[in-house]
Structure formats: C-alpha cells, structure tokens
Amino acid sequence: MSEAFHGAKYCWMNGEIIKTEDALISAMEPVHLSIFEGIKAYVENDVNGEGRLNIFQWKSHIDRLSRSAAFCGLKIPYTKEELLEAARKTIKANGFRTNVYVQPRIWPKAGSLEEVHVVVPVWTFDTILGRGNPKFSKERRFMISSWRRIASDALPPQAKAWANYANSALAVREATRLHYDGAIFLDNRGFVSEGTGACIMTVRDGKVVTPPVTASILESVTRGALLKILPEDLGIPVEVRDITRVELYASEEAFLCGTGWEITPITSVDDLPLGREYPGAFTKRIAEYYADIVANKVEKRKEWLASM
C-alpha cells in the first residue's frame, strides 16, 4: 500500500498529520483548477547519503504557489511559515533522513470558488547529482514534440497548475511511443520553449542561452537560481532570448534544469548529437556546483536553504 504513496506513511492535510491513505478528496471536487509545487530537501554535505536535511528555495517555491493560486482565484488559508512547518512535520513523521521531495497540492473545494484543500505529501527520491554519479552521464535522446507548449493566452504556463501537465503528458507519451527519453516543446511561435517538467539551457560559444518567460515557460526556480549563479559565481555569461529549433540542434551542449530534473544533460535532439563530448564540460561544471549548493557546501548560497 505505501508503494502507491511513494513509501510515505504520513502526509499533512488541512492542518493535520494523517495517514497518506486517508488523504482523500471527494470525486465531486472540481479538480481542473488544482495547483501544486515541487520542492526538494537535500542531505547536507553529501547529496547521496543520510543526515541533516535542508529544503532548497522554499520561499521562491511558496511565492510561486501563491502566484499560481492568485491566477486561479484560489485562497491559501496558511502562511508560508505554516506550510514550511507542515513540510517539516511531515518529513519527521515519516522518519525520512535522506533526500526528500515535497509536493504541496491545493484543490478547490466543491461549491466554492476560493476555498481549498491543502495537502503536503512528501517522499524520498534518488538524485542524479553528485560527482561520479553514473545516472548523470546516462545517454538521453530527446525529440521535439509534435505538441506545442500551451500558449499563455490559453492556459498560463506560469501557473503551476495540474491542467498544464496534460500538455506535458501528451508529449511524454509521444516520446515514449517513439522510443525517446523525453520531449522538448516549441512554443506557439515555433521557438524553443521548455521540457515537459523542466526548463532548457543550451551552450554556444562559451555562453549559456535559455528561452525567455515569454516563450511559454514555467518561471522555474532552478532557472532563476542558475541565472544568478552562472554569471555571479561561475563567471559564465548567460543570454535570455528566443532559440530556434535549428539553433538547438547546433548547440554544443544542452541540459534541462528543474527541481525534479535537477541538471539533466541531453545527448541528442531528433537524433542529432549535440557537441563533441557528453556530458559537456559546462553542463558538468554547473551540475557539480548546483550539487554543492543544495548540499549546503557553498557559503554565499546558504540563504537558499531552510534547515529542518
């Protein structure tokens, strides 16, 4: 039974720690406007081991949750601190001492336009980060999806709403059917948008290039962190601008970035290999530094971590 709940016996729902199997909503609830967040807590000093946990970028994630709620007209009846406490309590109740994923979920209540149920489930995850982790350098063949990313005048990609993930699920299913490891969306103008659950960054001539928010992307917390640390900490110049499909094919390296996907290198797009070495040197360096930050080894970025 706990398999179905990712091994988590307990979760937090509407103010209380309860058994995960009891975290139920009625089939009559209007689920189409539900929203969520995906947040990770990493073990300190060793991304793969056991020990003290720190939640990465809590504030930015909860700020985005508040924006998603505002776009959808929902009212979250808890403060940022109360939700952080809920996550801490839930992780403790489950006795987790290794890397944990926290996914606050919010559903509108039946018969109300604003009132919601709030659930905070947590479960453990396996990271692809960490020096010498073989999962990091695994081959990953991507395709350009035949599905376009949802246009912002139809469904706002900036809201982390479950409805947007129907678009992602169609692209994942297509990629799986065609034996690719994943899909990259173009936006409705034909420019590169993002992955199905992560943003995309490319490397060209020593610069990292990534699509703008106007390319129908989710305003990714990881992308935001990289836009700061690449120039400030690693001395890598960054350009935020539209990328054409052919420019993506011609890039020396490309990687996905996101809470779930962490920093994931891409081997090829539409069977066209990117660059000469895989994973590329920039991608590796950025992933190693990101791993150090989430493991609380980087003094100047400690403020991005909330201790447990």
Residue 161 is a binding residue for ligand PMP (CB under 6 A): no
Q: How far is the CB of 53 from ligand PMP (least distance, A)?
A: 18
Residue 68 is a binding residue for ligand PMP (CB under 6 A): no
The only residue of 43, 199, 229, 274 in contact with ligand PMP, by rule CB under 6 A: 199
Residue 38 is a binding residue for ligand PMP (CB under 6 A): yes
Stretch that binds ligand PMP, among 70-78, 90-98, 221-229, 241-249 (CB under 6 A): 221-229
Place of tokens 């297509």: 174
- Measured from the CB atom, is 76 or 218 closer to ligand PMP? 218
Question: What x-and-dash track marks residues 243-262 binding ligand PMP by CB under 6 A?
Answer: ---------------xxx--
The full DSSP string for 39-88 is EEEEESS-TTS-S-EEEETHHHHHHHHHHHHHHHT----S-HHHHHHHHH
CB contact burial 227-264 (16+ within 10 A = b; e otherwise): bebbeeeeebebeeebbeeeebbebbbbbbbbbebbbb
Q: Is 168 helix (H, G, I), strand (E, B) or coil?
A: helix
Q: How far is the CB of 307 from ligand PMP (least distance, A)?
A: 20
Compute the distance between CA of residue 133 and CA of residue 66 in angstroms, rounded to an integer: 35
Compute the distance between CA of residue 107 and CA of residue 70 in angstroms, rounded to an integer: 13
Compute the distance between CA of residue 69 and CA of residue 105 in angstroms, rounded to an integer: 11
Q: What phi and psi, each to the nearest 5 degrees, are found at residue 256?
A: -95, 150
Q: Please name the helix (run of DSSP H) or strand (run of DSSP E) that holds residue 274, with its range, or none.
A: none
Q: Is 33 helix (H, G, I), strand (E, B) or coil?
A: helix
Residue 193 is a binding residue for ligand PMP (CB under 6 A): no
The only residue of 108, 156, 197, 265 in contact with ligand PMP, by rule CB under 6 A: 197
Stretch that binds ligand PMP, among 14-22, 24-32, 196-204, 293-301 (CB under 6 A): 196-204
Residue 198 is a binding residue for ligand PMP (CB under 6 A): yes
Residue 170 is a binding residue for ligand PMP (CB under 6 A): no
Q: How far is the CB of 221 from ligand PMP (least distance, A)?
A: 3
* Alpha-carbon separation of residue 259 from 24, 67, 125, 167, 181 (angstroms): 26, 18, 11, 19, 18
Cα angle 150, 156, 160; round to 5: 100
Stretch that binds ligand PMP, among 105-113, 193-201, 232-240, 299-307 (CB under 6 A): 193-201
Question: What x-and-dash track marks residues 98-137 binding ligand PMP by CB under 6 A?
Answer: ----------------------------------------
Q: How many CA atoms lie within 13 Å of 297's alpha carbon, on the beta-carbon side?
A: 12
Q: How far is the CB of 59 from ligand PMP (least distance, A)?
A: 12
Stretch that binds ligand PMP, among 219-227, 244-252, 272-280, 296-304 (CB under 6 A): 219-227
Write out the residues near ligand PMP by the rule CB under 6 A: 38, 194, 197-199, 218, 220-223, 258-260
